[in-house]
Structure 1
């Protein structure tokens, strides 16, 4: 996820950001008005991350998420609302992988003189990738909350679950989430110079965390009490499966917070202290945070496979088929 910027008439890398115009333009404006930030950036340690590493992680993540999507599509036992939402979460992760791979290849070609770059093409590509990244952020947070709500209904309204969460309603939710994500992303890019864009992203992030935390507290505190009301063996089994899904979601959310947390901290610092020497040093290593974001897309499929026997079995079948065809 690079930030393609036209600097002094040629393609250059913004020193502290590899992606998102709404950040780079904001920082450009503040850096020109602050001599403190400029003087401090020279004393900061900036860790160089080779583009090949971004490309390798992006390709691995892309393959993993494609396999998850294919597995859920192929196995009819996985055709349930929860796995539909997990499939959409994999698509969100795939957006990060695709944008990273495309932009890295683009920059490698340009660095080696294999591509004649036109300024208009740079701007258009950058805008498209920005929309993809913003869509991934909004949709990932939305589907994590949707899966949490789905697990909540499964645990506390087990007898009415199929009437509450029907396939038709799940599809409607998926369509609405993607429409909202795309529209919000386009608006964020159009109004990227407005501080309200960053405020909205940070607010949405914390609202999602609070929403999920409330559901988790209720689920894990009262699930044991609720399970006593269900006597039949098959219902107990369903309850156990639902709790396993809730635990899986807890792991997914925890990984998301760890991997995306530094990025949102970066957004907060842009608003709180854009010219502070400490904050400018923090900005200089934005590439490290982007590596974490890519790692989130890479780790999520491993969590799906580890926590779901059915999904793991289907993934193994897909890999075996691919290996046989290769042979």
Structure 2
């Protein structure tokens, strides 16, 4: 279970990668000896736990705020709520695993190896579900903003609450099912290929959608400025900017992890690649940071959500006092 102390084993035990690395342990060791200048950043488990707890609290507040405020009961915020739940999966899995690791390090826990394997599989499913669902909801939100901008008059007839709920259910079913299949067929490198392909496909989809969205929305905004003599950006444009920031943060935080997967397939025994592998814990911290940063973006870009979050925090503080 103590994956963070072993640079050859992934913390989030994507089993095909572990098996592959174990089969090439000799080559990896030789690669390390030939790359003495590699810098390995050691990250304490307490930092994982602290960031995971902060992220968990933040995303819970976002979900509660959207549930509480009726003004936020719209398809876009339903999708954002689901994105927050996806981030919570990362936080929960990280907190649970870190607690087990700390208890094990201090000799306070004696768990059967079979139980650890079962826990690893559950954590794998949670992490994998988070990846697939996060990318899926980013695409869904992008599509929702696209409809808002270019089909504004028909938006409420196109994106009804019933359709939004159906999309949410389908995304979660697909995410959980694919994650379970990934774990069941962990010995096949096709699992990594599927994850990387899905990541690249969703990025291309979002990039094309956003480029078209911004070009035409910019033209539309200029017409509004000329006609109404107003320089305030439209709500749709603000929403598109917010989601572009979310996508950018996601790429920055998850990119190193997917690069890690690509290098596992392309150059597992290369000394330079092994240098990269040794800092896997740093990539995990970035993933947790993504879960931590997303709620801050929601709060900063949405005045309504920010106000509701402030009310929740103040009520919790007063109740605690």
Question: Normalization by structure 1: what TM-score?
Answer: 0.92
Aligned counterpart, 1:14: 6
Deviation, 1:324, is 1.0
1:121-142 per-position Cα deviation (integer Å, ceiling 9, x unaligned): 1100000000000000000000
Aligned counterpart, 1:314: 308
The answer to whether the Cα contact below 8 Å between 1:306 and 1:312 also exists between their aligned partners in 2 is yes
Deviation, 1:44, is 2.9
The answer to whether the Cα contact below 8 Å between 2:21 and 2:268 also exists between their aligned partners in 1 is yes
1:207-266 per-position Cα deviation (integer Å, ceiling 9, x unaligned): 0110001111111111133457879x99x9998111111100000000000000000000
After superposition, the Cα gap between the structure-2 partners of 1:44 and 1:239, relative to the gap in structure 1 and judged at 3 Å, is: closer
Q: Which runs of 5+ in 2 are unaligned?
A: none
Count residues in correspondence: 317
The reply on whether 1:89 has 2:83 as its aligned counterpart is: yes
The answer to whether the Cα contact below 8 Å between 1:40 and 1:280 also exists between their aligned partners in 2 is no
The reply on whether 1:273 has 2:267 as its aligned counterpart is: yes
Deviation, 1:29, is 1.6
Q: What CA distance in whole angstroms lies between the structure 2 residues aligned with 1:46 and 1:86?
A: 35
Aligned counterpart, 2:297: 303
The reply on whether 1:214 has 2:243 as its aligned counterpart is: no
Deviation, 1:65, is 0.2
Q: What CA distance in whole angstroms lies between the structure 1 residues aligned with 2:232 and 2:28?
A: 60
After superposition, the Cα gap between the structure-2 partners of 1:33 and 1:224, relative to the gap in structure 1 and judged at 3 Å, is: closer
The reply on whether 1:120 has 2:114 as its aligned counterpart is: yes
Deviation, 1:37, is 3.0
Question: Map of 1:135-154 to 2, 5 A cutoff?
Answer: 135-154=129-148
The answer to whether the Cα contact below 8 Å between 2:51 and 2:289 also exists between their aligned partners in 1 is yes
After superposition, the Cα gap between the structure-2 partners of 1:126 and 1:80, relative to the gap in structure 1 and judged at 3 Å, is: same
The reply on whether 1:24 has 2:18 as its aligned counterpart is: yes
Question: Map of 1:1-327 to 2, 5 A cutoff?
Answer: 4=2, 13-16=5-8, 17-20=10-13, 21-32=15-26, 36-37=30-31, 39-40=33-34, 44-227=38-221, 240-327=234-321
After superposition, the Cα gap between the structure-2 partners of 1:191 and 1:33, relative to the gap in structure 1 and judged at 3 Å, is: farther
Aligned counterpart, 1:8: none
Q: What CA distance in whole angstroms lies between the structure 2 residues aligned with 1:66 and 1:47?
A: 30
Deviation, 1:43, is 5.3
Q: Tell me the SS of whatever aligns to 2:269.
A: coil
Q: What CA distance in whole angstroms lies between the structure 2 residues aligned with 1:137 and 1:320?
A: 32
Q: CA RMSD in A?
A: 2.2
Deviation, 1:183, is 0.6
